[in-house]
Amino acid sequence: MTLNQLLSEMDGFKTNDEVIVLAATNTPDALDKALTRPGRFDTTVAVDPPDMKGRKAILEVYLQKIKKDNTVDGDDIARSTSGFTGAELNNLINVAAIRAAVLNKKEVTADEVEYAKDRVMMGSENTSKVIPDEEKRVTAYHEGGHALIAMLLEKDGADPVHKATIVPRGSGIMGLVQQQPKDDKYSQSKRQLETRLRVCLGG
């Protein structure tokens, strides 16, 4: 709405006033089409989420603001947060710092960072849900199937398994197998796609 207001106010300027408006928005679809017509605000630059190198540089800034021990590795966090924006990385570090404070720790450790990643990616643990033992058993077999097939198919392009859990989270997540790619991926081969299907069916 702020950007729409700025563009509306530009109607009062003459063509030779040499005023240029640069703005950023997460919702370009909300801009008034009349304001973005050719000649007005028709040049857009899409900014993709940072790659691994960019995430590492962003994390270095945020990690300097907290007390941490030597188990907190910026490279490892950057590798496991593919697709995260700068704001999401900031949120992750904040959640880790708050978790450390709740546990009365003087420094953030890798455990708090792992907790923060799980919470940001999957939501909070659903500790109030009562799950029968048989359902827990079925979920464990299901997630174990995903994990086992993923481990067996690493040679065929499956990402390495980072963790498997049957802790319920968020809305309807009974468990999860988290795979951690070694590098950012921008495309996938037919072989890699077939491998992903096998891992999915492994459950």
Helical packing angle, 133-152 and 190-201, nearest 10°: 160
Report which residue type is found at 84. Answer: F
The encoded tokens of residue 142 equal: 């299901």
Q: In whole angstroms, what separates CA 178 from the centre of its chain?
A: 13
CB 200 within 8 A of CB 146: yes
Among candidate residues 9, 18, 60, 143, the one labeled active-site is 143
Residues 6+ apart with CB under 8 A from 189: 157
Contact 177, 161 (CB under 8 A): yes
The CA distance from 10 to 124, in Å, is 45
> Active-site residue 143, yes or no?
yes
DSSP reduced 3-state for 182: coil
Catalytic residues: 143
